[in-house]
Structure 1
Amino acid sequence: MHTNPATSRQPVGGPESYFIRSGYRSRDHVEYFLDETDDTVTWQPDVYPYTAARANELGRDVVIDIGCGRAGKLASLAGEYPAWTYIGVDFGDNLIWCRDNHPFGEWIEVDLESAERLPIEPSLVRRSIVVCSDVIEHLVNPMPALSLVRGLLLEGSAAAVLSTPARECRSGYDTPGPPRNPSHVREWASDEFQALLRASGFEIHYAGLTRSDDASNGLSTQLLLVGVGEAEGEER
C-alpha cells in the first residue's frame, strides 16, 4: 500500500462541501444500494484482512461492520476467526438478507443517515474494532455515519478502519463529478477525506491506498485507520 504523491493546485474545500474542492458536483440522491452481484470480482479485497490484523494486534475479538451490506466479506472473516463476535449494521433488504442467510452474527437495523447511536452492549464495544468499508460515498449526508463510528470509539472501541474511493486515482483531483458509479453520491480525493475526518474529530493513525478489486489490482481505494484523540479517549 502506497500513498499517492500527486496534488492539485486547487485548495481543499470547506465543511459545506464535506471538504471536496470547489466546483465538484455531488448527486442529490441515489437509489438504495442492493448488495448483490454474480461476478467473480472481489471489491476492496484487503480491507477486512487488514481489519482482522489490526484486531489481533489490539487484542480485540469483536468486529462491528457499519454498512455491512450482505456481509459477504464479514462472513469470510467469520470463517477464519469463528470464535470472534460479529455485528453487522445496515438497513432495508440487505439487512433482512443477512438475518435470513447468515447463521453467525448480530444484525442491527439502523438508517445510517439519521441514527444517533447504536444499540450495542458496552461490554462488546470495549472488545471491538470497527470497519466501514466503501459506505460513506453512498450517503447523501455522511455526517451521521461518521458520528456513529466516532461514538463507538469514544465508548471504547480500539480503532476504526475506513475505506472509500480515491478520486485522484480514478478520475483526477479536479474532476467536476458526479461519480461514474450511479450509486455514489460523491467521491473524495485522499487529502479531502482526511480533512473531513480530522474536522469530524478523528485522529488518523494510517492513511494509504489499497486495491479496489482483485482483478485489476489497481491501488485506487483509500484505506485509513483512525481513532480519537488521547484527551477524548481519557474521558471514556
Structure 2
Amino acid sequence: MIRVDFDPDLHYLRHGYTPRVPPEYFVDIDNGITWQPDVYPEVLVLAQQHDRRVIIDLGCGRAGKLVALAAQHPHLDLVGIDFGPNIEWCRANLPVGRWLDADLEAATTLPLDTEVIARSVVVCSDVLEHLIDPRPAMRLICWLLDRGAACAVVSTPARDKRAGTENLGPPANPSHVREWAQDEFRAFVESFPAAIERFGLTRSDDSGGGMTTQLVVLGPCERQRAG
C-alpha cells in the first residue's frame, strides 16, 4: 500500500498544496445553474427518516435551495447561518426562516435552544472550501450533533474528480481557498469527533458537471461507538 502524507497544518491536504488566501467573498447570485442539486433533497430525506422538522443550514448564502424545500414542505422550520451581504439579503427578502449572523471561522456555539437543535438536521453545502480555517465550522457541526441534531450533511468539491489529485492549487474558483481530494477530505473529517455514516459523490450541478462533489453524512459519536 502506498502511504500518502497528508499535512494536518494544511487541513490534511497533500504536502505542497498552495491555498488561496484571501479568497473572494462569495455572493450567492442566481446564474441559472443549480449547484449540488441533490444535496438538499437528501437533507429532506434524512429529516423525514429521523422525524426532524428543523433544518439548520451553515453557510446558507441566499438560501434559495433551503427555502425551496419549505415551499414544498411548509411544516419545516428553517435556520440559516451566514454573515455579511448574504445574511442581510435573507433577512430583507425572505418571508420564512430564522436568519443568524455568524462567522463560521470564529463561532463556537449558536444562539439556539437545545429543544430546537434536538429537532434538527444540519447541512453545510459547498461552504468549507470557502473558509481560510474550516476547523471552527466542523467543530460547530460536532457541537450541534452533540446537542441532539440527528445528522449533518456536508458537501465540498472533489479535486481528484475535477482538476486531478496532482493539482496542488490554488483552485480555479477565486472564492475557494482549497479543494480536497476524496482521501484528503476523509482524513480531515476523521480528525473530528463525529461518525461518518456515508461518504460518496453527488452531482456538481444540473448542467452536466458530473459526479464531482463529495457528500458526507455525519452522525453523533455515540453511533460510531455503538457501531
| Fold shared per TM-score above 0.5 | yes
CA contact (8 A) 2:195 2:224 kept: no
Query: C-alpha distance in 1, partners of 2:110/2:41?
Result: 24
Deviation at 1:33, TM superposition (A): 1.1
Match of 2:59 in 1: 67
Match of 1:81 in 2: 73
CA shift digits 1:115-166 (9 cap, x unpaired): 1111111111000000000000000000111111110000000000000000
How many residues were matched structurally?
A: 226
The one-letter amino acid paired with 2:19 is: S
Match of 1:208 in 2: 200
Note if 1:103 corresponds to 2:99.
Answer: no
CA contact (8 A) 1:24 1:174 kept: no
Note if 1:23 corresponds to 2:20.
Answer: no
CA contact (8 A) 2:194 2:224 kept: no
The one-letter amino acid paired with 1:21 is: R
CA shift digits 1:158-213 (9 cap, x unpaired): 00000000000001112120000010000001111111111011211001100000
Note if 1:145 corresponds to 2:137.
Answer: yes
CA contact (8 A) 1:58 1:158 kept: yes
Query: C-alpha distance in 2, partners of 1:176/1:143?
Result: 20
User: Bigger CA drift: 194-203 or 10-19?
Assistant: 10-19
Q: How does 1:23-172 map onto structure 2 within 5 Å?
A: 23-37=16-30, 39-172=31-164
User: Bigger CA drift: 157-166 or 223-232?
Assistant: 223-232
Deviation at 1:72, TM superposition (A): 0.3
Match of 2:183 among 155, 172, 191: 191
TM-score (norm 1): 0.92
Deviation at 1:14, TM superposition (A): 3.0
The one-letter amino acid paired with 2:70 is: A
Deviation at 1:217, TM superposition (A): 4.5
Q: Does the C-alpha gap of structure 1 residues 14 and 23 become closer, same or farther in structure 2, counting only changes over 3 Å?
A: closer
Deviation at 1:80, TM superposition (A): 1.3
* Percentage identity across paired residues of the two chains: 48
Query: C-alpha distance in 2, partners of 1:147/1:176?
Result: 26
TM-score (norm 2): 0.95
Query: C-alpha distance in 1, partners of 2:110/2:215?
Result: 24
Q: Does the C-alpha gap of structure 1 residues 123 and 19 become closer, same or farther in structure 2, counting only changes over 3 Å?
A: same
The one-letter amino acid paired with 1:76 is: A
CA shift digits 1:26-77 (9 cap, x unpaired): 112112211113x221110000000000110111110000000000000111
Aligned alpha-carbon RMSD (Å):
1.7
CA contact (8 A) 1:137 1:186 kept: yes
Query: C-alpha distance in 1, partners of 2:60/2:162?
Result: 24
Match of 2:213 in 1: 221
Deviation at 1:99, TM superposition (A): 0.5
Structure 2 SS opposite 1:226: strand
Q: Does the C-alpha gap of structure 1 residues 10 and 169 become closer, same or farther in structure 2, counting only changes over 3 Å?
A: farther
> Can you give the 5+ residue segments of structure 1 that lack an aligned partner in the other structure?
1-7
Runs of 4+ with deviation above 2 angstroms: 231-234
> Can you give the 5+ residue segments of structure 2 that lack an aligned partner in the other structure?
none
